[in-house]
Each structure stands twice: as C-alpha cells, then as structure tokens.
Amino acid sequence: MKKQIGCLLFCITSLVFSAPTTQAQIAEKKWNPKNWIKKDSPEEKSFDEQKNNAIGGKPGTEIKKFMLKQAHKMKSINGATVSTMRNGEVLKVAIPASLLFLPNDSTLISKPETALGPVLVLMREGMTDLVITGHSDNTGSAAYLENLTAKRAQAVFDWYAGNGIANKYMSFYAYGDSQPLYDNDSMENRSANRRITLYIIPNEEMIKKAKRGKLNK
C-alpha cells in the first residue's frame, strides 16, 4: 500500500484528490486558500490498492463494530449529525459551524472542546486518521466563501494539532458553498449548510489490531 505524507485519500467514488499543500506550509501558515479548495465529494481512504474498496472480511467486521461504538459516543455532540460510510468502516461527524465559530469569523469560540472533544479522545488512541472539511452557505462571493471555509477548516486542524494530534494523521479541505446539504432558500437551510465535517478513518494501526482480533477487547 502506498502512503502519501500529509494527504488522506478516500474511496466512495472514482474521483481522486490532488495532494494538499505541504505540512511545512501549514505550520508556517504561508498558504493560499485556493490550495485547499476542493470541488469533488470526499472519497473514503483506500486500504486495498487492488480492490480500492472497503477492508471487508473479519477485520472489516471488527472495525465496523468499533466504529459503531464510536458513533454512539459522538452523538453526545449536541447538534452534530453522525453517520458511517464505506460499509460502516468510516465515521462521519458533521458539526454546525455555529457550534465552533461566530458569524463570518474563522476564530474558534471559547471551549470548542464541547464539539471537538469526543473526536479528540478517539484520535489520541492513534488508530485513526482525520479529514477535516469546511462548508458554507451561498451568502457572499465565491472567493470570500472559499477563504472563510479554508480558514475555518485550518482552525479546527490547528486545534487538534495543538492538543497533541500529529499532523501526519490529519488533512483539511475547503469547499466554499459547492456542496450544500439543502437549497439555500431559508435561514434554517443556510444554517445547516454552514458546517465542519470530520471524517474519521481507520489507519494501519487499527487494521493490525482488527486482524489480530484485539480491536474490541
């Protein structure tokens, strides 16, 4: 299996991301938001280079069982939408932007751990990778929305990094208003479209434990 430093690949569809900007640029914060603008739907990480699909088999069953337990824990995030992907092996947590940011701001509110903490607890186990995506409604120019969602996604990335999660386990992308959940025809719908989505993906450490039958012990 080929590894790409600083980039997580997903595999729901046949679309493939280009690699994000280097971790050095992230650390120095010398970046152009357009480097993070992604127009395609995120794809789940591929573990099987030949099949390009879910892990499957007994390891997949173990991982699915583990992720289901984690999904129940994530439902403690008030207002978040929690679901699983790729046959239950990948966990998706959509957090309303209002739980993390003031309107039109990209600075995390005080005590963001209320919304981000449950994922942090899981990430500290070292068995998962994290993809962070920023989304908005259509209020504002495309350039403004792309910049806002890029900065918000990075703010979440930086928060996890500041709380001990190594950069190699994470990447982030910005979508502007390109992936609305609903038509932007009401305040309620626009609010739902403004969100940070976290994709929690089994990494090789989890796969190894699942193969040894020790993941859920």
Q: To which residue do tokens 């609010």 refer?
A: 191
What pLDDT does 85 receive? 85
Domains of the chain: 50-211 (3.30.1330.60)
What pLDDT does 35 receive? 54
Cα 158 to Cα 46: distance, rounded to the nearest angstrom: 25
Q: To which residue do tokens 């088999």 refer?
A: 57
What pLDDT does 37 receive? 59
Using a cut of 0.85, tell me whether the model's pTM lies above it: no
pLDDT tens series, the chain, 217 aa: 333 323 333 332 222 233 333 344 444 444 454 555 555 555 444 433 333 456 778 888 999 999 999 999 998 999 999 998 888 888 999 999 999 999 999 999 999 999 999 999 999 999 999 999 999 999 999 999 999 999 999 999 999 999 999 999 999 999 999 999 999 999 999 999 999 999 999 999 999 999 988 898 7
Q: Could you write out the DSSP letters of every residue in 154-207? A: HHHHHHHHHTT--GGGEEEEE-TTSS-SS-S-SHHHHHHHSEEEEEEEE-HHHH
